[in-house]
Chain A
Amino acid sequence: MSASGPPDDTAAVADHDDAGPHGRRRGWIRDLLEGDQPVRRGQQHETSEVDGEQILVDVDEGVLYGFDDIGREIWEALSEPRRPSEIVERLLDQYDVDRDTCRTQTNRFLFELLRARLLEPATDAAP
């Protein structure tokens, strides 16, 4: 369920969440996910559709993200704010996968989208 840039592009994948241009301190995404805080679609996200496939766009970085079936499921679920645990429960209902794997993979996916600001914290009291 990973998000992926086009194979020819240099999608910057960092192994830590950097503070980025919005001035949040390092590690805020990890804290958010570990704290099971609700997230929602980013105000600035842009989508594109090519050959019926939905593509998410990080306009600032020029990176495109495609979804596989599970990724699309998660994105659809986020049409309103959700806690990561709610999304995991939803996926466990539909897919034959163990809870730990599902949680790890879901969080990894949410992490990438948060870092690209395609998702954002749904609480105004964001760190």
Chain B
Amino acid sequence: MTYSYVLGGLHIRSELPLGGAGESTVPGEPDVTIEEAAVPRALESPTHRGPLYELDPDRFLLAIDGLARVLVEDGTRVEVERAEGTEDRDLAVLLLGPAFGALCQQRRLLALHASAVRVDGAAVGFTGTSGAGKSTLAWALTEAGHPLVSDDLCIVRPDTEGRIELHPFAPRLKLWGHALRGRGEEPGGYDQARRGLDKYWMPVDDPTAFDPTPTILDRLYLLAGLGRPHDEQIVPVRGLEAMGIVANHSYRRRYFAEAGLALDHLRLCERVADELSVYRLNRPIGLDHLRDTVAVLESHWEEQS
């Protein structure tokens, strides 16, 4: 059995199912193959060796006792050797997480922890620390009529004209159990994002409607809480602060540093931060306030259009 996916703009051919994330029928040679194979126990001369993985600029070896060993090479090949009893869905977590992060590092791609919806033909991104409410806000925005472009993770890269393309990750929302229950949904009906974690994948209405082609990203909002009183809820940020927001929310950026590529990572962040309009969205935390936040955003977009 072979599965095809488009994730973050990468065409992936896999012997393993990745939990229905971005399945595709797009023909052509894949950028990345995922196969089950014997995986070595160590790399020859890694630039970094940690408790769970080791890496150099072109190789990444993840070894989790009792679960699996995963080797990612040259940004094109992923090999998986599973331990006895390891299920496909456990492997999917490793493949979509650390292995995908390693592919991005090896390909010098910037993966941003962000959800995005479409507004006036372009993508608007929302970033923030885990638990800041990226997916929940994206959900509320889709219900207000703004189509979901990507959830949780996306690849951002300049096109030939220097505009930033957002390559989406998956047509589904990764939501906390309490967010689902708060909106009257039962999490039991959805796939768990990871065993033991109260977080679930909620497919969008029609998964086949997922469009893997890139969308121009022109605005990025950092989801902040109302830690102190502010007059405006949406505050434009520039320069150092904009750069910090992009750099701090890039996915698995430590792999770049550990591979000796911190400067490459920085140059990627610089181009993205320089091109995008970046804002801090100060808003009250809590599901009760979601509707107000959507209204604030919509009036902001109204003013700008």
List the B residue with the shortest CB-CB distance to A58.
B262
Verify B239–A57 contact, CB threshold 8 A.
Answer: no
Verify A46–B266 contact, CB threshold 8 A.
Answer: yes
Verify A50–B266 contact, CB threshold 8 A.
Answer: no
Chain A: interface residue count, which band?
20 to 34
Binding-face segment, A4-12, A30-38, A107-115, A116-124:
A4-12
Verify A6–B274 contact, CB threshold 8 A.
Answer: no
A66 surroundings in chain B (CB, below 8 A): 239-241
B248 surroundings in chain A (CB, below 8 A): 6, 8-9
B239 surroundings in chain A (CB, below 8 A): 50-53, 55, 66
Q: Give the size of the chain B interface in residues (CB under 8 angstroms).
A: 19
Verify B266–A48 contact, CB threshold 8 A.
Answer: yes
Q: Is B238 an interface residue (CB 8 A)?
A: yes
Q: Is A49 an interface residue (CB 8 A)?
A: yes
Q: How far is the CB of B246 from chain A (nearest CB, A)?
A: 9
Q: Which of A45-71 touch B at CB < 8 Å? A: 46, 48-53, 55, 57, 59-60, 62, 64-66
Main secondary structure of the interface of B (DSSP, over half): helix
Q: A50-B270, A62-B262 are in contact. Are A7 and B241 (CB under 8 A)?
A: yes
A60 CA / B258 CA spacing, docked (Å): 10
A8 CA / B280 CA spacing, docked (Å): 12
Q: How far is the CB of A74 from chain B (nearest CB, A)?
A: 16
Q: How far is the CB of B272 from chain A (nearest CB, A)?
A: 9
Verify B263–A50 contact, CB threshold 8 A.
Answer: no
Q: Is B104 an interface residue (CB 8 A)?
A: no
A8 CA / B248 CA spacing, docked (Å): 7
Q: Is B247 an interface residue (CB 8 A)?
A: yes
Verify B245–A50 contact, CB threshold 8 A.
Answer: no
Verify A48–B244 contact, CB threshold 8 A.
Answer: no
Q: How far is the CB of A54 from chain B (nearest CB, A)?
A: 8
Q: Which of B257-287 touch A at CB < 8 Å? A: 257, 262-263, 266-267, 270, 273-274
B242 surroundings in chain A (CB, below 8 A): 50-51
Verify A6–B244 contact, CB threshold 8 A.
Answer: yes
A48 surroundings in chain B (CB, below 8 A): 243, 266-267, 270
Q: A6-B245, A9-B248, A49-B274 are in contact. Are A59 and B238 (CB under 8 A)?
A: no
Verify B244–A5 contact, CB threshold 8 A.
Answer: yes
A8 surroundings in chain B (CB, below 8 A): 244-245, 248
A57 surroundings in chain B (CB, below 8 A): 263, 266
Verify B274–A50 contact, CB threshold 8 A.
Answer: yes
Verify A49–B270 contact, CB threshold 8 A.
Answer: yes
B262 surroundings in chain A (CB, below 8 A): 59-60, 62
Verify A53–B238 contact, CB threshold 8 A.
Answer: yes
A64 surroundings in chain B (CB, below 8 A): 240, 243-244, 247
Verify B240–A6 contact, CB threshold 8 A.
Answer: yes
Verify B274–A55 contact, CB threshold 8 A.
Answer: no
Most chain B CB inside 10 Å of its own CB: which residue of A8, A51, A60: A51
Q: A46-B266, A53-B238 are in contact. Are A62 and B257 (CB under 8 A)?
A: yes
B238 surroundings in chain A (CB, below 8 A): 50-51, 53
A66 CA / B266 CA spacing, docked (Å): 15
Most chain A CB inside 10 Å of its own CB: which residue of B240, B247, B266: B240
Verify A50–B257 contact, CB threshold 8 A.
Answer: no
Q: Which of A9-42 touch B at CB < 8 Å? A: 9
Q: How far is the CB of B80 from chain A (nearest CB, A)?
A: 30
A30 CA / B241 CA spacing, docked (Å): 30
Verify A6–B243 contact, CB threshold 8 A.
Answer: yes
A92 CA / B238 CA spacing, docked (Å): 30
Q: How far is the CB of A6 from chain B (nearest CB, A)?
A: 2
Closest 7 CB pairs of A and B: A6-B244, A53-B239, A66-B240, A51-B238, A8-B248, A50-B243, A50-B273
Provide 6 A-B residue pairs closer than 8 Å at the C-beta atoms, listed in order of the A residue: A4-B240, A7-B241, A48-B267, A50-B240, A59-B262, A64-B247
